[in-house]
Amino acid sequence: MTRWLVDGMNLIGSRPDGWWRDRPRAMRELVEELRRLGEPVTVVFDGRPFELVDAGGVEVLFASRRGRNAADDDIAELVAQADEPEQWRVVTSDRELSERVRACGGQVVGTGAFRRRLDK
C-alpha cells in the first residue's frame, strides 16, 4: 500500500498566495485538502506545533527540532526507517531531500504534480 509523505511547508510555499501572512491558517487549509484526497497521508510541518482541530485521518507531524532542514531530516528518517521504503511517496520539490529519499528507496513526487492532483 502506498502512503503519501508530504513536506508541508514546501507544498504550501509552492503557491505565492499570501500564505506567509497566516502560517497556521495555511497549514490547516493544507490538512483539509489532504483529507479530501482520501488516501493515507502524513504531513510534516516546520515550526512550532499547534492543535489542529480535526485532521480527519491525516497524520500531522511537526519537525522534531527547530532550524534548517528540520522537517526534511524527519521525512528522510521516516523513509530510511520504514520496513518497505518503496511504499512511501514523498511530496517535495527540495532537490536535496529528494536525493535522500531516493537513496533510501522511497519515491518522490514534485509539488507541482501533487498540487494538480489535489486541485482536481
Domains of the chain: 3-119 (3.40.50)
Closest CA to 15 of 111, 108, 117, 113: 111
Q: Are 107 and 86 in contact (CB under 8 A)?
A: yes
What is the mean pLDDT of the segment spanning 56-75? 91
Which band of pLDDT confidence, cut at 50, 70 and 90, is reported for residue 29? Answer: very high
What is the mean pLDDT of the segment spanning 35-44? 93
pTM for this prediction: 0.91
Exposure b/e, 103-115, CB count within 10 A at least 16 = b: ebebbbbbbeebe
pLDDT at 56: 76
pLDDT above 90 (res 85): yes
Check the CA dihedral 114-62-94-15 and report its sign.
Answer: positive
What is the mean pLDDT of the segment spanning 29-34? 94
